[in-house]
Amino acid sequence: MRSTQQFGGVDRSLQRAWIKGAGFIDEELEQPLVLIANTYQDFSPENAHLRQVVDAVKAGVRMAGGTPMEFNTFHVTDSEAFAARSMRYVLPSRDVVADSVELMAEGHGVDGLVLLTGGDKPTPGMVMAAARLDLPAILLYAGVHRQALARGQVQDKLAPTGAFAAGYLVLWLGFSVVAAALHWALERVGLVSAMMMGSKSRWLSAGVLIAAGLYQLSPLKHRCLAHCRAPASFLSRHWRPHGSGAFLLGVLHGLYCVGCCWMLMALLFVGGVMNLAWIAALAALVLMEKVLPAGQWIRRATGIVLLAWGALTLTV
């Protein structure tokens, strides 16, 4: 990454110490640094609300595994400057906006851009800056949303959080019912103990271990884990409006989460549902897969270990 050249290694210790004075920590500097160019100012209704919007943008960058770094450029609006001597400063402001974004991006060695703009004067400057820089860039134009609101094309609110949570929990509730029924059936036939609720059969234990190992190495597990590791990307890709859309989005998100974890949870049949140490170990494994940078490698390593463990169980 470009930011590694800027802040990584012993020879860049001074630069790391300097930026840490602004509140950043080592873990943040090891992630991709995303420059947020904000055109917030008090002179124009096209930009006056961007101070609040940028907080959501920063949260999205963090959810996607990056570190947001904001700076403010400007907007000289011709709506106020029209027919006055200040009009001569409107068009040149585009070039200065482009220059300011380029200077900040190149001067600080960032890895990506989010260009937060509104109005027809700073926006071309933002586009010119993105064209000059060989960096991934997203341009968010505030005016598009306001125009859609005026036409009644979207609701001026987030999709209901409760509906999303309900859809997510319904999916997990269904999974829990199936798991409980399966556990009851296995206990009835004597394959699972009534005390620790773990397997009493090496064939059952080996089968679950090998199945879990194979699933850990499967493309389906890879896809589900990729969605769980990037929830912001998932939400932006599958967004649905209104309460019903939020409910379906929660169900879909829950489906990916179940697809990511169901075979690891099946390992509770091996170690015992009442075994707190085993539960803690599986919870830690799920967490490491989802949040650590090497999560996909942890998935593969776990699959190999489970396959070996299952084969060993059959031979004992």
* 156 within a domain of the structure (yes/no): no
Give the total number of structural domains in the chain.
Answer: 2
- The reply to whether 226 and 304 lie within a common domain is yes
Structure tokens at 292: 């650590």
* 302 within a domain of the structure (yes/no): yes
- pLDDT tens digits, residue range 38-90? 888 877 777 777 777 788 788 888 888 888 888 888 877 766 666 567 777 77
Average pLDDT of the chain, as a whole number = 83
- The reply to whether 94 and 230 lie within a common domain is no
Instruction: Say what the pTM is.
Output: 0.54
Greater model confidence, 288 or 75: 288
- The reply to whether 80 and 136 lie within a common domain is yes
- The reply to whether 129 and 201 lie within a common domain is no
* 160 within a domain of the structure (yes/no): no
pLDDT class for 290, splitting at 50, 70, 90?
confident
Residue 20 is part of a domain; what is its CATH number? Answer: 3.40.50
- pLDDT tens digits, residue range 106-159? 888 889 999 988 877 788 888 888 888 888 888 887 655 555 556 655 554 555
Domain boundary among 150, 184, 215: 150
What is the rounded average pLDDT of the residues 257-283?
87
**Residue 125 sits in which domain range?**
2-150
- The reply to whether 194 and 119 lie within a common domain is no
pLDDT at 15: 84
Counting residues of the chain whose pLDDT is more than 90, the rounded percentage is: 14
pLDDT at 156: 45
What is the rounded average pLDDT of the residues 288-307?
89
- The reply to whether 9 and 145 lie within a common domain is yes
pLDDT at 256 over 70: yes
- The reply to whether 137 and 201 lie within a common domain is no
- The reply to whether 199 and 311 lie within a common domain is yes
What is the rounded average pLDDT of the residues 227-232?
75
What is the rounded average pLDDT of the residues 201-210?
88
Greater model confidence, 205 or 83: 205
- Edge to edge, the sheet with strand 137-141 lists 67-72, 33-38, 112-117, 137-141
- The reply to whether 109 and 11 lie within a common domain is yes
- The reply to whether 92 and 135 lie within a common domain is yes
* 159 within a domain of the structure (yes/no): no
Domain boundary among 116, 150, 184: 150
pLDDT at 150: 61
pLDDT class for 218, splitting at 50, 70, 90?
very high
pLDDT at 159: 53
* 258 within a domain of the structure (yes/no): yes
pLDDT at 152: 59
- The reply to whether 44 and 121 lie within a common domain is yes
What is the rounded average pLDDT of the residues 19-38?
85
pLDDT at 301: 93
Domain boundary among 150, 181, 209: 150
pLDDT at 80: 65
- The reply to whether 95 and 135 lie within a common domain is yes
* 210 within a domain of the structure (yes/no): yes
pLDDT at 237: 66
* 48 within a domain of the structure (yes/no): yes
* 157 within a domain of the structure (yes/no): no
pLDDT at 1 over 60: yes
